[in-house]
Structure formats: structure tokens, C-alpha cells
Chain A
Amino acid sequence: MSAPAGQRPAGSTLGVPQEGAANSTERAQSANTRHPLPREGGRGDGGLANEPSLLAALSAVIRRDLLLAMRRKSDVLTTLFFFIIVVSLFPLGIGPEMAMLRQIAPGVLWVAALLATMLSLNRLFAADHADGTLEQMALSAVPLGVLVTGKVIAHWLLSGLPLALLAPVLGLQFDLASGSLAVLVVSLLIGTPVLSLIGAVGAALTLGVRGGGVLVSLLVLPLYVPVLIFGAGAVEADLTGLGATAHLSLLAAFLALAAFFGPWATTVALRIALE
């Protein structure tokens, strides 16, 4: 037993592609034979036939949400304009004191990004809940977690990513050096997915609750605080010459944790909300 087990890695690397090919033809066959309906006890095949469509379903959710956003641009633009306006008001309010502006820049940009993300959270599941799409997602042969992950990715593409790309332009108003601007973008690129992932849990928990908008802020904001501290801290550390690596590593750790637990918690919360 033990000798073949030791050889298994080499054998399995050769065996995997063949096995995969065999599986996929099997799947194709079972997908075809699914159509004649009278087949008792065929649920094992049913599961297999659905497997290849997991990625298709994930990308379909993302494409669908992006398509819907394109058809109704105002929702996305509201978030972006909010971010631009809030950030731009600070230099106007404080005046041309460069040292002061440089000092508050990381905090202002990060707080504005955080609030802008919160602004878009209510829409994450509300429309799908109202028109019954969420129910259908919960009944899909594709695990709900996959579909939820797709929705979170789409949310980030529509809120977090544009914020991160806009941030350096807005950072110029605060007289940030190009090195700090780069750190700002990187910190937002790592941090905003965490905001989307945590926000999705909050949005799912408050789904269908009256006054859910306020509740979501109360639930989610405390959880955003660590991201804010390390995100803004990264830029600050770079400004003071300490180097941002430690902060960025911690942000990445948050992202890994949130990516692991976020979709799962969101799925559980959605199932409760639908009941």
C-alpha cells in the first residue's frame, strides 16, 4: 500500500488530464441523456452535468450585473460622483496649506472611498430580492455561494475598481507625491474588495428589513475600521518614509480572510432572508 502511495504524485500528474477528459465526455453524455425525462434516481449524473457550468454561471452573473449597470448608469455614477465631490471639498474647505493637506490626504481619500462603497451596498441584493431573481438563484443547481461571489465581484468592478483608479487623480489635489499615489492605488486595490465582501454580508443580513440602509451602516462600519486603519496607514507610512509593505501585507491578509468567509456568510444570511 505504502509504496504505490509514494509513487502516486508522479502517476497522478500524468493521470489527471486523461481523467478530466474522461469526465468531460461523460458529462457531455449525461447532459444529453438528461433530456428524456423519465429517469429515476439520476441525481448523481445531474450533479456532474452541472459541474462545467459553475464557471459559466459565475461569469454569467458578473456579465449580467455589468450589463444591468450599463443599462442604468446613474446608479454607478452616483457612487463615483459622491467620491469625487467629498474628496474635492476638503482642499476647498481647508485652503492651500500643503503640509496639512498632505497629512490628511490618506484619511480623507480612504474615508470617502469607504462611504461611497456603503452608498452602493443597498442596491447589491435589493433589486434581485424584489423581482424574485434571488429566489431563483437560491433554487439554482449552481451553489448559491458561486452566484453570490459573482455578484460581489461585479459590485467591486462597479464601485471599488473605479474608486481606486480615480483616487490618484483626486490625490493630486492634496499634493501627494507620485510614490504615495502609487501606494494609495495599491492599498485601494487590495482594500476595496474587502469592503465589497464585508458589505455583502451586511446587505444580505438587512435584506427586506425596513430602514435597512441605516442598519447596514451600523453593522458594516465597525467591520470596515481595520481596513480603513491599515489602508490609510499604508499611505501615511509611505509619506513618513517608513515603507508601506507591512500595512499592505496586513490588508492582503484581510482580503484573504474576507474572500474565504464573506461569500459563505452572505449565502447563509441570504437563505435566512428568503425564508
Chain B
Amino acid sequence: MLEASNLECVRGEKSLFRDVSFRLAAGACLMVQGANGSGKTSLLRMLCGLAQPAQGEIRWDGEPIRKLAEDYRGELLYCGHAGALKDDLTALENAQISATLAGAPVAEDAARQALRQLGLKGREDLPARVLSAGQKRRVALSRLLLEKRRLWVLDEPLTALDKAAVATLCGVIDAHLAAGGMAVLTSHQDLPLATTRIEQLRLDS
């Protein structure tokens, strides 16, 4: 269970949002909406513990995430704007190394399988440098399949993805929610999820 109470985000002198509260139970999905610059990414970074809220508190299973530290990070998967891919490494190396760095090493077969599932068959051994933006995104999203985490925080996961990839991704998210996972998402595009447990959070003040 992820809980946020009275969060406030301050950038410079300006308050981006205040009094943001929500609860997210197992199997539910939170869609964060708002215009550009309304603080969606800031909120998501707060939920990960990368940024501290000016006010308010975020709790995971009743305990503040600051206190949980690594225990919380072991439950969390954050996929931000930057794909965390190395241009000089192949798609497969990228997938395996990012999983190992996250503390959940995977076998080569599992990594290949995940890349194939995301439509990168035959591209596994190409350096990320030569992949298109959408293909890089798919490599970055392969972490969703490889690292078993309960809470997914996805910042604009659909950027640069084609229709087929969007459908695949929605299937992956649905499966994650059906298995009792949680997801916090931002997206300017429609995300055709099958689940009915979608909560909306608007950040426009």
C-alpha cells in the first residue's frame, strides 16, 4: 500500500502543487494527469524518494519511505524520461546490466525472452546506439519484465512507442496489476488498460 499525504512541491519560489494526497492499494493504478510543467515528473520523483517533498509524507505499508530506504527501493521500479541505456552496449547487455545494478541479476535467456516479448527479436545484439527511439524505449521497458517489483512508477512510458508496442505494454501493466502489483503512471496519450481499478489524480491547480 502506497500512501501520500498533503504533498507539496516547490520549485524555486513557486509552489507547483500542494495538498496532494492519495492511497494506492494492491492491484490499483494511479494515472497522474496535468499540463506540461504541472509537476507530474516531480511528483513521481518524490514517490521514488529521489526528491524530498517540501511538505507532507509518503508511506509504504505504513512506514515513511525515507526510513525504509533500500527496503523500499527493492519494491520499486522507476522508469523515467531517460532510458538509462548505454549507447556502446548491446540491447541484451543493457537489459542484463541494468537488472544486475538494480540488485536483481537475470540470466541471459530471461533477458532475451523479455526483449523478444517487447518485439526486439533479432535486435538483441545490436548496440543501443543504432536502435531507433522507440526501440530504445522498448529496451528500457524490458526492465518491467525482468525485475520483479511491486510498485511501478512510469513517467510517460508511451513516448516514441508504436501502436503494437503500446498494446504489448498495456498487456504487461494489466498482468502486473492482476498479480497484485501497483502502478503510478503519467501519459499524455490514452492508455487502453483492461483494468477497472484506475484512479485519476489531476495536478492542475
Contacts and interface: CB of A to CB of B under 8 A. Distances in A.
Contacts of B72: 43
A256 B82 CA distance: 36
A142 interface: yes
Contact of A132 (B71, B80, B105, B181): B80
A173 to B, nearest CB: 35
A38 to B, nearest CB: 3
A133 B103 contact: no
Contacts of B85: 131
A71 B89 contact: yes
A60 B80 contact: no
A133 B61 contact: no
Contacts of A72: 88
Interface stretch (B45-53, B113-121, B165-173): B45-53
B68 to A, nearest CB: 7
Nearest to A56: B105
Interface residues of A, number: 40
Contacts of A64: 86, 89, 97, 101
Interface in B1-49: 1, 26-27, 48-49
A132 B83 contact: yes
Nearest to A43: B71
A99 interface: no
A210 interface: no
Given A37-B150, A67-B93, A136 B102 contact: yes
Interface string B178-190: 0111000000000
A34 B86 CA distance: 29
Contacts of B49: 139
A136 B101 contact: yes
A59 B50 CA distance: 25
A137 B71 CA distance: 14
Interface stretch (A46-54, A104-112, A160-168, A182-190): A46-54
Contacts of A46: 71, 74-75
Give me the 10 closest cross-chain CB pairs, A-B, nearest first.
A132-B82, A38-B180, A141-B103, A141-B74, A71-B88, A132-B84, A60-B100, A43-B71, A142-B103, A46-B74
15 contacts: A36-B179, A40-B1, A40-B26, A41-B61, A43-B72, A60-B100, A67-B93, A68-B88, A136-B84, A138-B50, A139-B73, A141-B102, A142-B101, A142-B102, A275-B50
